[in-house]
Amino acid sequence: MKQQLITMLELQNEMNAKVHADWRQKEFEWYRAIWVECAELLDHYGWKWWKKQNPDIGQIALELVDIWHFGLSIMLLKGDSPEAIADQVIEAFSESHQGGDFRLDLEEFTGHTLSSKGFDISRFAKLMQGIDMNFEQLYVGYVGKNVLNFFRQDHGYQDGSYHKQWGGKEDNEHLVDIVAELDTSASDFKDQLYARMLTAYNKLNA
């Protein structure tokens, strides 16, 4: 778990640096990105009392992965080493997180995010527990989305030349299909994933 956390922290730093080389000095509002994602997450869970809604657990998990990207960024800005941050996360995740109403837990997490402009690992872990999401799922989801973000940047996402739709499907659908075929515990999982994404992309855009 510690090595997986260090890997994620390194990947997040690389992704942030790819978007802005001096991202640590930019003072981006990472907390704002988190609470916006929380609103999207709540829509996937359902909150409207005037219509029938069932929680979309798959989409909720994806939103939690997106929030994790921003949470990692906030933790990196504190200046601690990846090893020290990993230890902090492991300790927080090992605590007992007795969840209640998921929507109330989400609002508590969002409220803390807004008031502190930070990232609370324990409250995040409680949200994961609320949908029975384990650490391995978070890791695989994170690495997959990180690789996809790198892939998009490498193929013109910033200048608008990249199109998410290729081969009749969105790129995140291709991602899910490829991840299902790989050994996610392999040390070179992210490299295999990128290579397979590139092969599929070149083949479908030939």
pLDDT digits 0-9 by tens, 115-167: 999 999 999 999 999 999 999 999 999 999 899 988 998 888 888 888 888 88
Q: Using alpha carbons, list the distances in angstroms from residue 91 to 32, 55, 121, 122.
A: 26, 29, 9, 9
Mean pLDDT of 91-98: 82
In this predicted structure, the answer to whether residue 99 has a pLDDT above a threshold of 80 is no
Is 137:93 a contact under the CB 8 Å cutoff?
Answer: no
Q: In the chain, what is the straight-line distance between the N-terminal and C-terminal CA atoms, in Å?
A: 40
Can you give the pTM of this predicted structure? 0.85
Helix, strand, coil in percent for the chain, rounding step 5: 70, 0, 30
Tokens in use for 87? 């230890």
169: β partners: 166
166: β partners: 169
Q: Which pLDDT value is given to residue 206?
A: 66
Tokens in use for 31? 């907390």
Helix, strand, or coil (residue 75) = helix
φ, ψ for residue 194, nearest 5 deg:
-60, -45
Tokens in use for 46? 């359902």
Dihedral sign, Cα of residue 193, residue 197, residue 198, residue 199: positive
Q: Using alpha carbons, list the distances in angstroms from residue 131 to 7, 125, 200.
A: 24, 10, 32
Q: How confident is the model at residue 195 (pLDDT cuts 50, 70, 90)?
A: very high
C-alpha 205/C-alpha 196 separation (Å) is 14
Over pLDDT 70: what percentage of the chain?
A: 99
